[in-house]
Structure 1
């Protein structure tokens, strides 16, 4: 695990080549097909050299939650162990990793009708207005969720509308199944000045490779 541009991919490739680890991507952006430059997705040559699971598995308009990741990661880890391989989780989406390690509360499935209602309300008062509403219903969730994050704001309000309980209450009641593997944690954390320089270089490289055209 580690921040953007810390060198996680290079480290994962090294461990794969040294120990034959099965790499499992822990990145909420790399799951999407066609989103290559802006996500700093490993190129085809790199993936051929060191395959990563959970990359390019869904279309950009499809949803993929932490619960989806946990289910997929568990299946992949079991498959690795059945082949006498060591699974290697590599990425920077800490919400995914925490959900896998600590367990997820059993939240209700999404309700398209309820979500559409909140989206309609957002058109009238804005997502910041809905964030303010969430802060009155569930202050702890509102504090965690950025006011410019419509997906998480909508989900928190949706859960409350379906269950009558806040996400904070549900998380406290049930943490679900926790990871039952022995885990060796490796954190890559370069000095801040070096990290900022790498991020700047990566962004400049993205622009040259066509990042703007990719998102247009």
Structure 2
């Protein structure tokens, strides 16, 4: 039986240095960088997503970056289908596929498949949306956390789409969405998967990097970027693109719902909460090689995990 070809997963929380590591690997190996990021898929959303600049993308091409308009929706199953094709193409060219990003659900969809969940229930969804309209999504999140603590911890209080789906599944089945995922049969992957979890041991250092990154985004013109998006007239806060961390807070500032300091504070806090959720997911990833991205010899430690193609 032919030996399985390797696929490297570089997973980690936001601002943990994943992209820099991928670029370093590109400089030393024949790799294909495949982005695993539910925000980088959108065109015209560059500053607030910390997207590599044009010069970097020309030197280090990233697949699955700038593939959609901000009005479009891209599911985990869409990603899995696209990523499989890109992995096969990379292997055919003798390259190592390096999948890098922080959208852990995308990684899981590719590695494990997606659970068979009950179809949407219009009546239950209407009831959830009515509660959200009256009390706000944080109240719906609190309800979910009481019924399904694992989902409550994993999801942020304004992650409307996922809160609604997790609560809907629980109300329909009496079981957490996690329990449905755990029942799915493991996929027999055609590759030798090498999952690397970049997990900072120093949480304070990660928080500092997050705050500095948000400050830099503001200095680079993040406000003007969101102004341009709002002026298009076809976007709103119910779209997945505009629910990305930072964009929601800046949109609310431009609507007059927040002042500048509130926007800045809420943007940083939301990013920290995202990083916490990402690390919660990663801690449950069985078999992942855990490396501190802020420790010594990050590149050498990662390189040592990769077999020769």
TM-score bracket relative to the smaller structure = 0.7 to 0.9
- 1:13/1:50 contact within 8 Å kept: yes
Cα displacement string for residues 115-172 of structure 1 (whole angstroms, at most 9, x for unaligned residues): 4664344212322343344356545433433333211111123445677865234223
- 1:103/1:178 contact within 8 Å kept: no
Flag the 1:187–1:165 CA change in 2: closer, same or farther, 3 A: closer
Instruction: Find the counterpart in structure 2 of residue 49 from structure 1.
Output: 59
Aligned equivalent of 2:38, options 20, 28, 34? 28
Q: Give the structure with the larger strand fraction.
A: 2
Instruction: Find the counterpart in structure 2 of residue 141 from structure 1.
Output: 151
Which residues in structure 2 correspond to 1:1-216 (within 5 Å)? 1-108=11-118, 115=125, 118-135=128-145, 138-159=148-169, 166-175=176-185, 177=187, 179-189=189-199, 192=202, 194-216=205-227
- 1:37/1:209 contact within 8 Å kept: yes
Q: Which moved more, 1:59-68 or 1:17-26?
A: 59-68
**Structure 1 vs Structure 2 CA RMSD:** 2.9
Deviation at 1:112, TM superposition (A): 7.4
Question: TM-score, normalised on structure 1?
Answer: 0.81
CA distance in 2, matches of 1:125, 1:212: 29
Question: TM-score, normalised on structure 2?
Answer: 0.60
| Matched position secondary structure for 2:40 | coil
Q: Which stretches in structure 1 are left out of the alignment for 5+ residues? A: none
Flag the 1:157–1:182 CA change in 2: closer, same or farther, 3 A: same
Flag the 1:108–1:204 CA change in 2: closer, same or farther, 3 A: same
Deviation at 1:51, TM superposition (A): 0.7
Q: Which moved more, 1:151-160 or 1:128-137?
A: 128-137
CA distance in 2, matches of 1:198, 1:35: 21
- 1:104/1:176 contact within 8 Å kept: no
Q: Which moved more, 1:110-119 or 1:165-174?
A: 110-119
